[in-house]
Amino acid sequence: MNKNIKKYRVYQIEGGNWNLLAELNTNIFECYHENVEVDKNYNYALAAVDNENREGPPAQTSVQ
């Protein structure tokens, strides 16, 4: 359910560890991960956070 979303959390997933990269306001539609290695596969997750600080199920993607 997408009610009362107040921010988004962006995670980098590496070796089973989830590292928080950014917390974004709902009016931000981009996030940059700098100093990445060429030809390396990166895994990310994006989770919505509601006004009670509850995190919803994340969407995951891989980028190379």
For each of the domains in the chain, give its residue range(s) and CATH number, in order of start: 5-63 (2.60.40)
Question: Which amino acid, residue 59?
Answer: A
Q: Is the pLDDT of residue 3 over 80?
A: no
- CA atoms of 51 and 63, how far apart (whole Å): 30
Which pLDDT band holds residue 1 (cuts at 50, 70, 90)? Answer: low
Calculate the alpha carbon distances from 59 to 18, 28, 29, 37, 62 in Å. Answer: 13, 17, 15, 23, 11
Report pLDDT for 2. 65
Query: How far is C-alpha 23 from the geometric centre of its chain's CA atoms?
Result: 8
The more confidently predicted of residues 19 and 3 is: 19
Q: How many CA atoms lie within 13 A of 40 on its CB side?
A: 8
pTM check: above 0.85: yes
Interval 11-18 mean pLDDT: 95
| 8 A C-beta contact, residue 5 and residue 16 | no
